[in-house]
Amino acid sequence: MIRMKIVADDTIPFLKGIAEPEAEVAYLPAKGFTPETIRDADVLIVRSIDKCTPALLAGSSVRLITTATIGFDHIDTHYCEAHGIAWKNAPGCNAPSVGQYVLASLLALALRRGETLEGKTLGIVGVGHVGREVERLASTWNMRVLRNDPPRAEAEGQAGFVSLDEIAAEADIVTLHVPFTREGRYPTYHLANNDFFRKMKPGAWFINSCRGAVHDTEALLRAKREGVVGGLILDCWENEPGISPELLHLADIATPHIAGFSADGKANATRMCLEAIERFFGIRFSRLKEVVPPAPLHPEIDLNAFADHRIARAFLQTFNPEIIDNHLRNNPSEFEYLRNHYDHPREPRAYRVRNATPDEQKLLAEMGFQAG
């Protein structure tokens, strides 16, 4: 019996050793994906850095591409569909991770500025898996939420959704969570452009943790210089890894595209890729249950260790964006290295919080912690 051959990106966590009992697996760096190395593969397991183009795929035996990401703009889906190559992404795999990133970054910036998130209006652009998670976390901090999602509004009705102009005019904080598209009825390329920033509430905070080209870099630079954007949190950049030095300097929190990189999210994505292979080929991976993230180094958080802002500081114990921000500012040319060698944090559910009051326990539980 001929065994299935899988070619996988060698930086996908928790994958090595899992599929080997049932398949032959070759692990390659991103630059190692060539027409020669994937020619006799049945399956590719890739990340967003692995470009699945006609030049790579033509003449290969690849029948399925699975990507350990929610986005799939690195896969030429038109070519795949025309040539009988199935593809599967991992929708929702890292939604809690991006939610964790957004809330932690907002809390870090608010603490730095002596402000509170409570009562602020948060405009969420794109309310899919990630946007819904951001909305859930924002509600725990009593933030007012405005939702913009034209495809959902069209399918479900306008109730509960607002226009992009309304987001720009009313939101104290704008956060982007849309897929990157240049085509179709709702293209998102340069969605946040000069026109958007001109309409934006002066001094509002702006977050992009979805795709770099959803914002126009020159327009964002102008808005930040002029004070239209009062707080800037960027995880995604145009022209990665060659990011704008000026934008890096002006950003309040800057990170190398790691918002969805929790250990939990990575494990979810790897598991979803393997499950897609199981369904497609009608097989079972006997070691699939072993795809689990390691426990945190310090799984207990003691609220009595904090003199003030106890809940905010507990949340920042799970992920503090200022650490990776500092690494990127000191080594901007190492963007891709920092991304590939990132120490994936655990999400709040991996932590137990001690010495919480009953009110704090309720809030912590809503945020996903083990409290009590």
Known catalytic residue at 156: no
**How far apart are the C-alpha atoms of 358 and 189, rounded to whole Å?**
46
Known catalytic residue at 226: no
The two tokens of residue 143 are: 């933030």
- Residue 333, classified by CB atoms within 10 Å of its CB into exposed (0-12), middle (13-18) or buried (19+), is exposed
Catalytic: which of 132, 257, 271, 339? 257
DSSP secondary structure string for all residues of 169-216: HH-SEEEE-----SSSSS--TT-B-HHHHHHSPTTEEEEE-S-GGGB-
**How far apart are the C-alpha atoms of 253 and 344, rounded to whole Å?**
18
Known catalytic residue at 215: no
The two tokens of residue 317 are: 């114990």
Catalytic: which of 132, 147, 211, 271? 211
Q: Taking the alpha carbons of 208, 212, 215, 216 in that order, is the dihedral positive or negative? A: positive
Cα 189 to Cα 27, 182, 228, 229: the distances in Å are: 33, 5, 21, 20
Q: What share of the chain is helix, strand, coil (3-state, %, to 5)?
A: 40, 15, 45
**CA 311 to the chain's CA centroid:** 23
Q: Coil, helix or strand for 88?
A: strand
- Three state DSSP letters for 1-20: CCCEEEEEECCCCCCCCCCC
95-121 as b/e: b if 16+ CB within 10 A: bbbbbbbbbbbbbbbbbeeeeebeebb
What is the chain's Cα-based Rg? 21
Judge contact between 102 and 174, C-beta under 8 A.
no
Catalytic: which of 240, 278, 336, 360? 240
Residue 271: which residues within 8 A CB-CB, separation 6 or more? 288, 291
Q: Taking the alpha carbons of 327, 71, 143, 306 in that order, is the dihedral positive or negative? A: negative
User: Residues with catalytic annotation?
Assistant: 211, 240, 257
